[in-house]
Structure 1
């Protein structure tokens, strides 16, 4: 493991305080930087450790088990590192600057989501305006911008009208001191330490060398778009799998300590409770190979054709929905004490709810599976 147990233990100790005070995970952030975690996916040829996407899924599961909100926010940086790797493996050097920037201490965040915009990666309400030097300025409002207090570069996009009137999505990276306003508006049920504040772009500038794509609006098979989708879905799945695993661990510890006055034995000996915990463990057991295979295939450049996007959506959906059920089962077997805010399970229950709101949501996942695909699953990639 890249993240050592002592570091994870310190991060776990701080998680409840960040949640209670609704503050950014400043100490975690500094320790993770010092440990080199923000450079973990930088290829060795650029001076980094060269961890793969599959490697990072395991690290993110462990980090989420210690502090879900910290893991979710750090996810955004690791997703961009994964995208840069996906693009780099195709021979495209347009995102190599990110490896150099990460090694220099930069931290990346996502400025993509917009209120009421369900096109997500394929269209934007924001505006991109070309500059004479080849750079662009961006205007618009982005929501759920995790890592708000800590990022130094924001990956974002806006729409530009092309010469024939068509909409073109322009993707670039802006500095936080260039036409960016970060609102102090993060006050949520869970994932509070992520501080995923609303970000207003008012002439936020990206120089030409950081404009990484100009793509017609709508679905795209560009490796850049695929890289965002693949790394985002797989790493989100990893975070929520880590939450489910931790909830199961806490539940086992709890029922092993609670004693029934009726039977004189611990609750861990109750057949009904053992069944519920086993049921939760069986659900969790399915997620690990699902995530590992998807990450391995992305790392290897496996072509699953038209099935890639629905299958990636499914990885995220299976993980978030399973984690939600597992945390609820953990709460049920642990008794009324888990209803108090001081309980870790109470926090995990609130944190896991955020999985419902990340793309792809459960409705779009089901809508992404056209019937002609169903008969081809068996031979698609070895993943099913």
Structure 2
């Protein structure tokens, strides 16, 4: 059995370069093109692609470790590339279950294509179960999509946008259509990404004006609403696991920074380093207790997806719960790291200041706290009676 070494794919020296650039991209509100080039050269875009197709052949367990490692250096870079990895991860989940409809994603990732995630829509709390984007069928089997997608990470660089829309044209009822569209004159990317944190993701708004997905890029057509279809499970599982990984990586970095700061700062009152202060020690212990619980949870759920474990009706509760716990833990850890590190962390030049702003983005990704609690309640108590 080959031992997986994350440092062989993301060496410390590369991560330090990413960390230095992260401050610049945050300050200037720019996309980390150099990071993406380095990741492409390292084969990172194809880590979830099978070896026989030219990828690294890793599973979600290994990808989650790598994303934690990357997020500890450059959270926005990690979150941006997350959206590409979601599609290669969905391709793996489907292929593992005998569905080869996303092989073009795997082959494209090996060739250096960048796949973006076009699912989020303003005010659409149905997420995967509905869409305000119109999907109009074409005579050749393709679809033309018209609508607006928000939080489209990788906006300046993607080559293919994976998205969904609603086809209401048929006599057999509406259908959700999942497909991929290339960049074209029918796709307009607004330059509107000016946010509190995660600025390097450049997750801009995308307007679709009849953007065409060719027939061979239409990958699924399913009924709207809650659906056990593999595309729904694939997207939800990979998305939640990799999101949890990014925010857990942020938490680990905040914990490391807090420890280093406590060991380096000296109290005028006692003459000892703050690492000897009982209150500081309690805070850092509390951070470590919270953090330590989450990486094993990510590993377990990721392995269950990789090995096709059957959690039945509990699957979505487990996945949304994992993301929720990771994000709330990460925010709590960063809050404590700020307190441990003192007033210097309040300056925008401080890495902790950036981590503090970046970690807030986790609250807005699906599943948000309300959705996670609703999903878990339904899994344990059944649906609300009408």
Same fold, judged at TM 0.5 (above): yes
- Provide the residue aligned with 1:72 in structure 2: 79
Q: Aligned-pair distance for 1:371? A: 6.4
Contact persistence 2:197–2:354 (CA under 8 A)? yes
> Among residues 199, 206, 210, which one is paired with 1:199 in the alignment?
206
Q: Does 1:302 align with 2:302?
A: no
Q: Which runs of 5+ in 1 are unaligned?
A: 376-384
- State the alpha-carbon separation in 1 of the partners of residues 50 and 249 from structure 2: 25
Q: Aligned-pair distance for 1:166? A: 2.2
- State the alpha-carbon separation in 2 of the partners of residues 165 and 92 from structure 1: 24
- State the alpha-carbon separation in 1 of the partners of residues 15 and 373 from structure 2: 36
Q: How far does the alpha carbon of each residue in 1:109-145 deviate from its partner, in whole angstroms, 9 at most, with x for none?
A: 0011000000000100000011111111100000000
Moved over 4 A (4+): none
Q: Aligned-pair distance for 1:178? A: 5.0
- Provide the residue aligned with 2:189 in structure 1: 182
- State the alpha-carbon separation in 2 of the partners of residues 299 and 359 from structure 1: 21
> Among residues 304, 317, 323, which one is paired with 2:330 in the alignment?
323
- State the alpha-carbon separation in 1 of the partners of residues 321 and 96 from structure 2: 25
Q: Aligned-pair distance for 1:191? A: 0.1
Contact persistence 2:321–2:376 (CA under 8 A)? no
Q: Aligned-pair distance for 1:374? A: 7.1
> Among residues 17, 26, 31, which one is paired with 1:24 in the alignment?
31
Q: Aligned-pair distance for 1:372? A: 6.6
Query: What secondary structure sits across from 1:202 in the alignment?
Result: strand
- State the alpha-carbon separation in 2 of the partners of residues 357 and 226 from structure 1: 20
- State the alpha-carbon separation in 1 of the partners of residues 51 and 367 from structure 2: 32
Q: Aligned-pair distance for 1:362? A: 0.7
Query: Pairwise mapping of residues 59-208 of structure 1 onto structure 2 (< 5 A)?
Result: 59-164=66-171, 166-177=173-184, 179-208=186-215
Q: How far does the alpha carbon of each residue in 1:272-326 deviate from its partner, in whole angstroms, 9 at most, with x for none?
A: 1000000000000000110000000000001100000011000000000000000
Distance 1:44 1:178, change over 3 A: farther
Contact persistence 2:31–2:201 (CA under 8 A)? yes
- State the alpha-carbon separation in 2 of the partners of residues 42 and 205 from structure 1: 26
Q: Which runs of 5+ in 2 are unaligned?
A: 1-5
> Among residues 353, 367, 382, which one is paired with 2:374 in the alignment?
367
> Among residues 49, 70, 85, which one is paired with 1:42 in the alignment?
49
